[in-house]
Structure 1
Amino acid sequence: MLVLTRKNGETIKIGDDIEITIISAKNDQVKIGIKAPKNIEVFRKELYEQIQSENQEASKDISGLLNFFKKE
């Protein structure tokens, strides 16, 4: 993991298309702004993991249904 120190208003570039700007930092919270192309989805990690889990569960349901119809 790369660890960087930035001050309010400073930006980090990722490749040519993504910028992360520190909007404010106080106490134990940091507010960031992210500029990325529309085709790149940006999620909070906990939300991304929830989406992945729900997708896996949905795919299990579909697999079970497909197996059910194959047996007939």
Structure 2
Amino acid sequence: MLVLSRKPGESIQISDNICITVTEVRGGRVKLSFSAPSTVKIVRQELARTTVASPGHPQDMTAGHRTVAEVR
């Protein structure tokens, strides 16, 4: 497992087309911004374990560009 440290406003680039940016850090929460092609499915891990995400499902967070997800 690769572990990286980032500050708010800093990013991590994955391949040529996926970028994850730390948007905010407050208390025990980190807000992340994901920029990825719409074909890349992004879903919180606890939802991936408990549900089968499908297109259009409310818990499915299929990424467009600049999709923001809050991670606890």
Higher share of residues assigned strand? 2
C-alpha deviation, 1:45, in angstroms: 0.4
1:11 matched residue in structure 2 = 11
Structure 1 runs of 4+ with >6 Å offset = none
Unmatched segments (≥5 aa) in structure 1? 55-72
Post-superposition Cα deviations, 1:8-53, rounded to whole Å, max 9, x if no partner, equal 000100011100000001211100000111011000001111224x
Query: What is the percentage of aligned positions where both structures have the same residue?
Result: 40
The answer to which structure has the higher helix fraction is 1
TM-score, reference length from structure 1: 0.68
Greater relative contact order (CA < 8 Å, ≥ 6 in sequence): 2
- For residues 28 and 2 of structure 2, the distance between their equivalents in structure 1, rounded to whole angstroms, comes to 20
d(CA) in 2 for partners of 1:47, 1:5: 25
Aligned pair count reads: 53
Corresponding residue for 2:42? 42
Q: Over aligned residues, Cα RMSD in angstroms?
A: 1.5
